[in-house]
C-alpha cells in the first residue's frame, strides 16, 4: 500500500497533493521506448497502478529497412496524465476535487 492509499484508508485526513506532472511523471515517460525498470517501478507507485503502461503507450509493427519491427510510442500529454491520476484519486477519495488547480512555471 502506498502513502496515498494509506491516507485514504484512514477516512479521516484531507489531502492536498502537489502532483509532479511535468517535472516528474512526463519526464519519466520516455519517447520511443518504455521507461527503464527503475522508472517504471517508481511510476507504478506514484500513479497507484501499472495501468499507465497501456494508457500512455501504444505498440505497433512497422516495416523498416530490416523488416518488421515492434515499435513503442509514447501516446500521452499533460492532460491525459492529469486525468489518469485524478481517476485514481477519485477511486480512493470519493470527494476528490473536480477542478484541480494547475501550477505552472512562472517563466511560461
CA distance 30 to 98: 28
Query: Would you put residue 48 in left (φ > 0), alpha (ψ -120 to 50) or beta?
Result: left
Instruction: Decide if pLDDT at 20 tops 80.
Output: yes
Q: What is the pLDDT of residues 41-70, one digit of tens each?
A: 999 999 989 999 999 999 988 887 788 888
Give strand pairing partners of 67.
Answer: 64
Which residue stretches of the chain are H helix?
A: 3-10, 27-28, 37-47, 52-55, 78-92
> What's the mean pLDDT in 26-48?
93
Q: What is the pLDDT of residue 65?
A: 79
- The pTM score is 0.83
Instruction: Decide if pLDDT at 4 tops 80.
Output: yes
Amino acid at each position: 500500500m502506498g502513502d496515498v492509499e494509506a491516507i485514504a484508508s484512514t477516512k479521516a485526513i484531507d489531502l492536498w497533493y502537489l502532483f509532479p506532472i511535468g517535472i516528474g511523471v512526463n519526464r519519466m515517460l520516455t519517447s520511443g521506448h518504455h521507461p527503464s525498470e527503475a522508472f517504471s517501478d517508481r511510476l507504478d507507485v506514484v500513479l497507484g497502478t501499472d495501468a499507465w503502461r497501456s494508457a500512455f503507450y501504444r505498440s505497433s509493427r512497422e516495416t523498416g529497412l530490416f523488416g518488421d519491427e515492434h515499435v513503442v510510442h509514447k501516446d500521452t500529454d499533460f492532460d491525459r496524465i492529469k486525468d489518469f491520476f485524478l481517476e485514481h484519486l477519485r477511486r480512493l477519495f470519493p470527494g476528490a476535487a473536480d477542478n484541480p488547480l494547475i501550477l505552472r512555471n512562472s517563466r511560461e
